[in-house]
Amino acid sequence: MSPVLAPLTLWLVFAAQGGQEVGTGPQPSPYPVSWEFEFKFLDPQRIEVQLPGAERPEVYWYLVYTVTNPGPRSQRFFAMFQIVTENLQVFDTDMGINPLVFDAIHERHKITHKYLVDPTQVIGVLLSGDDNARESVAVWRNIDLTLNSFSVYVAGLSGETQFLANPSFDPERPETGTVRGPGGREQQLVTNPRQFTLRKTLEIRYTLPGSPAARPAAVPERDTLRWIMR
């Protein structure tokens, strides 16, 4: 059965799964070494929404989730979701979607996720315990899913971090520099970092069956799931 008819959910209360491929770079601890949320989710789904004044429905992809804080202390929840395609296109979630899009998603999942809230409302302190769990959704607009595979990355579920020395660091140069942003405005950014901060991040890999023309409407098939440092 498709994920729409029988949604597959999974409790992530583990560190790295044994037996899965892992990279040669820094890896998360095999056991939690910091606070960590429990994350329950549905695989990405596609929805078309007719917005006022639009000639045709707009296409969105979204991921419904439930987050719980099992630890003894309250923690701030501010998850960051990205889709990365096999040709390394990166798509961030869109926090400024029309409320009608959220309403359509909520209507579709109102039986299984009756407490679903807008993505902007889920950010904040997450109290401990199952009774304080929150349900929300990550939404992407105008993304190109015509390739054979993509990955979803979810950061902000764990406090575990690692520091990695920057092999290109130049001690003769300052760590910050002035760059021109949108509109030609100058801003100070770290252009020569001494080190990088890696955060424990959930990686969920998917494949899209069918031809390139059919893939935008195909149901993603989950491939692997693991924790990585990113």
SS3 per-residue string spanning 103-148: HHHHHHCCCCCCCECCHHHHCEEECECHHHCEEEEEEEECCCCCCC
Contacts of 92 (CB under 8 A, 6+ apart): 80, 81, 82, 140
Residue 27 lies in a domain: no
Q: Is residue 1 part of a domain?
A: no
Q: pLDDT tens digits, residue range 66-84?
A: 999 999 999 999 999 999 9
**Domain encompassing residue 94:** 38-165+197-229
Whether 117 is covered by a domain: the verdict is yes
User: What CATH number corresponds to the domain at position 218?
Assistant: 2.60.40
- Count how many domains the chain has: 1
pLDDT at residue 140, rounded to an integer: 96
Tokens matching residue 71? 């630890």
Tens-place pLDDT, residues 191-218? 889 999 999 999 999 999 888 888 878 8
- CA–CA–CA angle 138, 15, 79 (5° rounding): 25
pLDDT tens digits, one per residue of 94-107: 878 899 999 999 99
Domain annotation covers residue 121: yes
Task: Decide if 129 is inside a domain.
Answer: yes
Q: What is the pLDDT of residue 181?
A: 67
Residue 64: inside a domain, yes or no?
yes
pTM metric for this prediction: 0.83
Supply the pLDDT for residue 50. Answer: 95
**139 within domain boundaries:** yes
If you average pLDDT over residues 152-170, what whole number do you get?
95
pLDDT for the residue 182 = 65
DSSP character at residue 183: G
Is 98 among the domain residues? yes
Q: How far apart are CA 62 and CA 86, in angstroms?
A: 19
Give pLDDT tens digits for 109-131: 999 999 999 999 999 999 999 99
Question: Considering the chain, what is the average pLDDT of its residues?
Answer: 87
pLDDT at 16 over 70: no
